[in-house]
Amino acid sequence: EARMRVHPLPTVLGLVLLLLCVLGDESKEKAVRMKTTRQLTEILKELGIKVPHGAGKEEVRELALKHDALTKYESQQQAKAKKVAGHDDTIDTLFQLYDKDSDGKLTEEETSPVIAELQKMQGNKLDEQAAARVFKEMDADNSGALTRQEIKSLLGKATEGKQAEARRLDPEKEKAIRMKTSRQLKEIFADMKIRVPAKADINELRALAIKHDALTRYERRHPE
């Protein structure tokens, strides 16, 4: 007689994990349904996910669930907040060290040690005239003192500058981008889920390719 196959009972851990998955999916679906179509469309576009023209409410919801858009968007926003918080920590330390009269502003006299240290790190001798010029450039409203907002703005620009420097291409990569037609670049962007302005010309497409390092990422995704 053929023996009846006995399937092992699922473990308690397995059941718990299954329950968590189900609850997690239900929670995500509920969160998606609480968003308006407009909100979901904006989130999808922010993530570079193409939304079909004239897509209805259910289609947009399905797209958001398919790409786990809310989770990705929240992670993106948390990363941005963390970066801002990092700047805030730096600014707090700066004011604790150099704001001698605790008035919430840094005068030229109070910032001179910082500028001198920067010059020293760059291998330059202390130049009071140069220090004065640096302070004047930093003092956006010409008030004679630096506010937290001015310093935060400077840190933001410095971060953007570093990112731009990191994105700078070598001549070979730039040449490879210039050899692509508008159509080829658009196909690459579509594959990489990179949003392209409707009437972008070839120069805008090339700039977008440089910004996102699109060719390198595309080649990694589609190795020959």
DSSP string, 163-198: HHHHHPPPHHHHHHHHTS-HHHHHHHHHHTT----T
Domain boundaries, position 23: 12-67
Look at the chain and report how many structural domains it folds into.
3
SS3 145: strand
Do both 58 and 118 map to the same domain? no
Task: Decide if pLDDT at 2 tops 50.
Answer: no
Domain boundary among 141, 166, 191: 166
**73 domain-assigned:** no
Do both 60 and 113 map to the same domain? no
Q: Take residue 13 and report the two structure tokens written for it.
A: 């851990």
Do both 175 and 158 map to the same domain? no
**63 and 105 Cβ atoms separated by less than 8 Å:** no
Task: Decide if pLDDT at 12 tops 50.
Answer: no
Domain boundary among 40, 67, 94: 67
Model pTM score: 0.35
Contact partners, residue 154, CB within 8 Å, separation at least 6: 138
Query: What average pLDDT score do residues 107-124 get?
Result: 68
Output the pLDDT for position 9: 42
Do both 113 and 87 map to the same domain? yes
Query: What average pLDDT score do residues 32-50 get?
Result: 87
If phi > 0 it is left, if psi is from -120 to 50 it is alpha, else beta; for residue 107 that is beta
Do both 52 and 114 map to the same domain? no
Which of the 8 DSSP states describes residue 35?
S
Band of residue 86 on the pLDDT scale cut at 50, 70, 90: low
Do both 28 and 49 map to the same domain? yes
**2 domain-assigned:** no
Output the pLDDT for position 208: 87
